[in-house]
């Protein structure tokens, strides 16, 4: 193993590709910030207990994929595998739900960790932007979140994604369905592990990717037939609001998702250019989660969109984000005196809010001009001893190639004027 190799299942974000990741985080969070969601940041690790209780002891995430550790002080911690449980924990700790302003709408962005089998689009360290609306049961809130995710993807130029929608019922109707499903599944020809899953999380069996399992599931009882009237009406309202907003979705009865806490509305965003790891984001309603982690009853809904897979989706669709050059002016000094003076000009430009960079290290003209080109700067400032003798600097427009001498004292003002 090379000393410079990132750990298995992880990768670094380096320029220039890292700029796309920043732009994706920005694009996903912009519609949230414009819709009353406030920023929240929580630690990268939590007590193991939070995820065991919140995400669910029967999920792959908790049983197989969590990075757990015992601190020197004996605390059992886990690197966060997802955001919802942490955000809800933090909201409860800060009593945000008691400020008389429900729903508490929050957005976040950060790193998540799952010990998974690495493959394209599936990493052990990945990045999500998420949103949670805590403390309110209102189909318009579920619709809002789906509409905002759709808006975010569209603003990035993505088109080949689909929205899958389902309702998982609530604490009234889901247990009835669960039992009916269990007795159906127990009669099937399944392996040991799947049989165990029937007892702890039967809905996940519906999610099994194997063809021989799927064949046996054709006549499985359908959750739709078991939804109580309240759940049915709620789901119809979510669907109607999405339709009215012009957001297309597909009803997907098989959508159960890998976390235990979901109730009623569940949805996933899938992208058709990504192969097997096609889910770019997902979420749903989690009315029981607060009580599961020891809090009061707080019906809530949220989603998390994967930044890594969103970038892969952009690449799959051939979408190039229009990322403006980060540097507007590049200064190339020729000689000691020029270095000091132009460094001063660069500082002045930066303080005036103009993005400027400098050829460090006393490089020759040719190499420095190459860097100027690479920086994407619209203007280059070049100055040597002869220019200073005349009290000027050479200002080159990198687009037109035109070059003119500008009085040194006016260089910053002239650039500010030209750059508008
Ligand atoms: P989940 O919490 O599993 O619903 O994940 C939400 C989103 O996070 C997914 O749709 C993916 O875009 C992303 N995601 C989850 N796990 C991974 C992973 N191991 N590697 C990369 N992205 C992931």
Q: Running DSSP on this structure, what letter comes out for residue 328?
A: S
Cα separations in angstroms, 373 against 123, 210, 382, 401: 35, 53, 13, 11
- Percent of the chain exceeding pLDDT 90 equals 85
Q: Is residue 374 part of a domain?
A: yes
Using the mean position of ligand 1's atoms as its centre, give its distance from the Cα of residue 157 in Å.
Answer: 21
Q: Which residues line ligand 1 (CB under 6 A)?
A: 82, 114, 116, 121-123, 126, 128, 258, 279-282, 304, 306, 308-309
Which residue among 128, 129, 162, 278 is best mutated to probe the pocket of ligand 1, counting the most ligand atoms within 8 A of its Cβ?
Answer: 128
Which neighbouring-strand residues pair with 306? 128
Residue 67 — very low, low, confident or very high, per pLDDT cuts 50/70/90? very high
Q: Are residues 91 and 39 in contact, defined by beta-carbon separation less than 8 angstroms? A: no
Q: Which of the listed residues 259, 289, 317 is the one where a domain comes to its end? A: 317
In a shared domain, residues 127 and 251 = yes
| Averaged confidence pLDDT in the chain | 94
Smallest CA separation from ligand 1 atom 2, residue: 82
In a shared domain, residues 393 and 265 = no
Q: Is residue 216 part of a domain?
A: no
Instruction: Reply yes or no on whether the pLDDT at 203 is more than 70.
Output: yes
Average pLDDT value for residue range 124-148? 98
In a shared domain, residues 266 and 361 = no
Residue 298 — very low, low, confident or very high, per pLDDT cuts 50/70/90? very high
Return the minimum-mean-pLDDT range out of 207-211, 213-217, 314-318, 388-392. 207-211
Instruction: Reply yes or no on whether the pLDDT at 27 is more than 80.
Output: yes
In a shared domain, residues 349 and 401 = yes
Q: Are residues 175 and 223 in contact, defined by beta-carbon separation less than 8 angstroms? A: no
In a shared domain, residues 302 and 340 = no
Residue 59 is predicted with a pLDDT of 80
Instruction: Reply yes or no on whether the pLDDT at 2 is more than 80.
Output: no
Range of the domain at 399: 329-418
Q: What is the CATH number of the domain that holds 378?
A: 3.40.50.800
In a shared domain, residues 167 and 252 = yes
Which residue among 62, 306, 314 is best mutated to probe the pocket of ligand 1, counting the most ligand atoms within 8 A of its Cβ?
Answer: 306
Number of independent structural domains in the chain: 2
Q: Is residue 95 part of a domain?
A: yes
Instruction: Reply yes or no on whether the pLDDT at 260 is more than 80.
Output: no
Q: Is residue 410 part of a domain?
A: yes
Measured distance between the N- and C-terminal CA atoms of the chain, rounded to whole angstroms = 51
Q: What pTM did the predictor assign?
A: 0.93
Q: Determine the Cα–Cα distance for residues 298 and 300; give it in Å rounded to an integer.
A: 6
Residue 166 is predicted with a pLDDT of 95
Residue 324 is predicted with a pLDDT of 83
Residue 380 is predicted with a pLDDT of 98
Query: What pLDDT, in 10s, does the model give residues 206-243?
Result: 888 899 999 999 999 999 999 999 999 999 999 999 99
Smallest CA separation from ligand 1 atom 6, residue: 281
């Amino acid at each position: 193993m090379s000393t410079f190799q990132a750990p298995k299942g992880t990768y670094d974000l380096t320029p220039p590709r890292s700029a796309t990741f920043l732009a994706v985080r920005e694009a996903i969070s912009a519609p949230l910030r414009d819709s009353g969601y406030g920023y929240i940041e929580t630690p990268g690790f939590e007590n193991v207990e939070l995820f065991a209780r919140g995400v669910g002891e029967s999920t792959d995430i908790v049983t197989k994929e969590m990075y757990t550790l015992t601190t020197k002080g004996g605390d059992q911690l886990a690197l966060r595998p997802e955001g919802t449980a942490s955000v809800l924990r933090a909201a409860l700790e800060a009593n945000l739900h008691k400020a008389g302003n429900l729903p508490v709408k929050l957005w976040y962005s950060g790193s998540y960790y799952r010990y998974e089998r690495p493959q394209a689009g599936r990493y052990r360290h990945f990045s999500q932007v998420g949103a949670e609306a805590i403390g309110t049961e209102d189909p318009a809130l579920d619709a809002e979140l789906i509409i905002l995710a759709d808006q975010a993807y569209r603003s990035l130029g993505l088109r080949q994604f689909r929205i899958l929608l389902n309702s998982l019922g609530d604490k009234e109707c889901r247990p009835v369905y669960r039992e009916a499903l269990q007795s159906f599944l127990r009669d099937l020809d399944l392996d040991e592990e799947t049989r165990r899953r029937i007892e702890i999380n039967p809905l996940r069996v519906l999610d099994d990717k194997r063809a021989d399992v799927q064949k046996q599931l054709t006549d499985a009882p359908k959750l739709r037939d078991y939804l109580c009237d309240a759940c049915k009406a709620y789901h119809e309202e979510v669907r109607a609001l999405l339709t009215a907003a012009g957001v297309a979705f597909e009803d997907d009865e098989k959508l159960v998702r890998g976390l235990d806490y979901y109730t009623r509305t569940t949805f996933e965003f899938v992208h058709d250019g990504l192969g097997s790891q096609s889910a770019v984001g997902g979420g749903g309603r989690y009315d029981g989660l607060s009580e599961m982690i020891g809090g009061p009853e707080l019906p809530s809904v949220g989603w998390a969109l994967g930044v890594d897979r969103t970038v892969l989706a952009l690449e799959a669709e051939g979408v190039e984000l229009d990322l403006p050059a980060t540097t507007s002016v590049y200064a190339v000094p020729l000689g000691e005196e020029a270095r000091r003076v132009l460094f001063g000009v660069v500082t002045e430009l930066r303080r005036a809010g103009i993005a400027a960079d400098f050829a460090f290290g006393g490089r020759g003209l040719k190499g420095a001009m190459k860097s100027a080109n690479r920086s994407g700067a619209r203007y280059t400032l070049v100055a040597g001893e002869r220019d200073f003798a005349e009290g000027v600097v050479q200002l080159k427009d990198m687009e037109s190639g035109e070059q003119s001498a500008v009085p040194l004292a006016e260089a910053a003002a002239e650039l500010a004027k030209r750059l508008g």
